[in-house]
Chains A and B, each alone.
Chain A
């Protein structure tokens, strides 16, 4: 039986987006395997976070940064993505 996914209207852009997220989650799994315990920490937000929390905060914040860029800025969206990478580094370092 052919598995028809045309109703999901895939594009390569959205496929890459989800593949990157899947790879990030897989990488977190590998990280946890190599260094178990989740790296708990009391960060600058006053919260106890693990690596998973930090990934979630990074992804959610990145979504908002991209939306804010689309609403307020006029440059290419890639710049927002670069900004998000910097934001994610800060989150993983300090939150």
Chain B
């Protein structure tokens, strides 16, 4: 069959290109411009070359924030992905309770990020918060405003509470798409629950789980509002993740050059990981 090529259809993409240019490309260009200059305000800039990049790459502060960020992201991925799959497996497949579970699961996702931070701040306060007071009452010495370990425990718990639902919903959608014939065949073969999970459910959920990992990686790697409202990056700098450090540099210290260089390095890291995940997903689909 001869196809008729009509490249005028590409004009349909122009509005999207315009929006992306305005909200992504132009700000990114400005950040690149800032990253090679120094400013003291009044729109006056002085060219500095690659100085800010060299400073950021050698900066212990940046290395520490990056290290904390990687630990945070890996920890929440290691908890949320298995937990999300377990909850999705335990949820009813149909009926009223399936709907009830889905609504309950969706609830944390509907709460604005700053509200989540404020809620958990009050919830975890050692003198009046249910969590903080309860832990101290049980004999644990817990104070997230003074102890770095407690602050980490609280932000991880908060993130798990807020975002595991997303993994659950994606995994549940993946499970629902599995044809019943696979389960019937497994029953005939006398397959164990583990075998059904390992050889039917997990392979069928692969693509949605890759999307879940990608979304959770990007969101957690760029997280700002919730830990900022909960701990403000403290105690000390113990929960100062990359975004919080970036905002401190840009707005707190008005080091626009350093903040811009940090942003570009941060952007390149996110871009690389997303590309690897995307390529892996596409490769899986081609196979």
Chain A residues with CB under 8 Å of chain B are 6-11, 13-14, 17-18, 46-48, 56, 60, 63-64, 67, 70-71, 77
In the complex, the answer to whether B36 meets A13 with C-beta atoms within 8 Å is yes
Q: Let me know if B32 is at the binding interface, CB within 8 A.
A: yes
Of B33, B54, B279, B286, chain A has the most CB atoms within 10 Å of the CB of B33
CA distance A6 to B50 in the complex (A): 21
Q: A67, B47: Cβ atoms under 8 Å?
A: no
CA gap between A29 and B265 in the complex, in Å: 28
Query: Most chain-B Cβ atoms within 10 A of its Cβ — which of A11, A18, A47, A77?
Result: A11
A11 and B286 within 8 A (CB): no
Residues of B within 8 A of A (CB): 26, 29-30, 32-34, 36-37, 39, 43, 45, 47, 50, 53-54, 57-58, 265, 268, 271-272, 275, 279, 283, 286
- Find chain A residues with CB under 8 A from B26 CB: 8
Contacts of A60 in B (CB 8 A): 268, 271-272, 275
Q: In the complex the two chains form, is B43's CB within 8 Å of A70's CB? A: no
Whether A11 contacts B37 by the Cβ 8 Å rule is: yes
Contacts of B32 in A (CB 8 A): 14, 17-18
Residue of A9, A47, A48, A71 touching B30 (CB-CB under 8 A): A9
B37 CB contacts on chain A under 8 angstroms:
9, 11
Per DSSP, chain A at the interface is helix
The listed residue (B57, B268, B279) touching A70 by CB distance below 8 A is B57
5 contacts between A and B (CB under 8 A): A46-B283, A60-B272, A60-B275, A71-B54, A71-B58
Chain A residue numbers with a CB within 8 Å of B58 are 71
Cα(A47)–Cα(B265), bound, Å: 26
Find chain B residues with CB under 8 A from A70 CB. Answer: 50, 53-54, 57
Q: Which residue of B lies closest to A36 (CB)?
A: B5
Tell me the minimal C-beta distance from B47 to chain A in angstroms: 6
Given A6-B43, A47-B279, A14 contacting B33 (CB threshold 8 A): yes
Residues from chain B with a CB closer than 8 A to the CB of A6 are 43
For the A-B complex with A10-B33, A70-B54 known, give 4 more contacts whose Cβ atoms are closer than 8 Å. Answer: A6-B43, A47-B283, A48-B286, A67-B53
CA distance A39 to B55 in the complex (A): 41
**Known A7-B43, A67-B57, A70-B53: A56·B275 in contact at CB below 8 Å:** yes
For residue A18, which residues in chain B have a CB less than 8 angstroms away from its CB? 29, 32
Nearest chain A residue, comparing its CB with the CB of B54 = A70
Taking a contact as CB atoms under 8 Å apart, the answer to whether B29 and A8 are in contact is: yes
Residue of A nearest to B45 (CB): A9
Q: Which chain A residue has the least Cβ–Cβ distance from B53?
A: A70
A9 touching B33 by the CB < 8 A rule?
A: yes
The interface centre, meaning the residue of B32, B37, B268, B272 with most chain A CB atoms within 10 A of its CB, is: B32
Closest A residue to B30 using CB positions: A8
- The smallest C-beta distance from A25 to any residue of chain B, in angstroms, reads 12
Cβ of A46: which chain B residues have Cβ within 8 Å of it?
A: 283
